Amino acid sequence: MILLKPYLRAAPLLIGAALMLVGCGPKVDTHPGQPVTKRRALLQETLRTFEPMGIMVRGKTPYVAAKFLTLADQLQSLSTQPWHYFPPGSTYAPSRAKPAVWQQAAQFKQAQDTYIKAVSGLAATAKTSNLDAIRPAYAHVSDSCAACHKTFRGPSVL
């Protein structure tokens, strides 16, 4: 009997595993206008803008007024963009939007307005470069995010 080298015996297993993983890649959004893909991209960009601000506010990195102001302005620009990507029926995976988004449309709109107003307040406060004034403005934005997520966002799909 011919003994195969260990790596040759593992080859069929590795090929099988690779073939199984091919189907695990991200799914292409084929829905008209790709609303879930677009809103997720905008909300992820929002998070990538907001997180460095929080790190500065909490003192984990030095507060740099010019950088914070730039981030606050970017956040304000992003704050109005994702909302029109919540058309009825856009609950397909990987959306985490709860049916309450559409069932309680007035409350969802109010949550958007609260968030946009909080971001505007943070952007205005950032212009003062006063970190003691910025902290509560940042917390107000964070609280508006958390309140909206509590009502309108479901658990992670991962």
Would you kindly state where each structural domain of the chain is located, as residue ranges? Answer: 33-82+95-152
Stated pTM of the model: 0.80
Helix (H) or strand (E) holding 131: helix 131-152
Other CB atoms within a 10 A radius of the CB of residue 46 amount to 20
Cis peptide before 94 (omega within 30 of 0): yes
* Residue that is written with structure tokens 């984990």 in the block: 60
pLDDT digits (tens, 9 = 90+) for 12-54: 555 555 445 444 555 667 766 889 999 999 999 999 999 999 9
pLDDT of residue 42: 98
72 near 123, Cβ under 8 Å?
yes
pLDDT at 88 over 80: yes
Distance of alpha carbon 105 from alpha carbon 99, whole angstroms:
10
Distance of alpha carbon 108 from alpha carbon 130, whole angstroms:
32
Kindly give the interhelix angle for 65-78 and 35-57, rounded to the nearest 10 degrees: 160
* Two tokens, residue 56: 């500065």
Domain 33-82+95-152 has CATH 1.20.120.10: yes
pLDDT of residue 126: 99
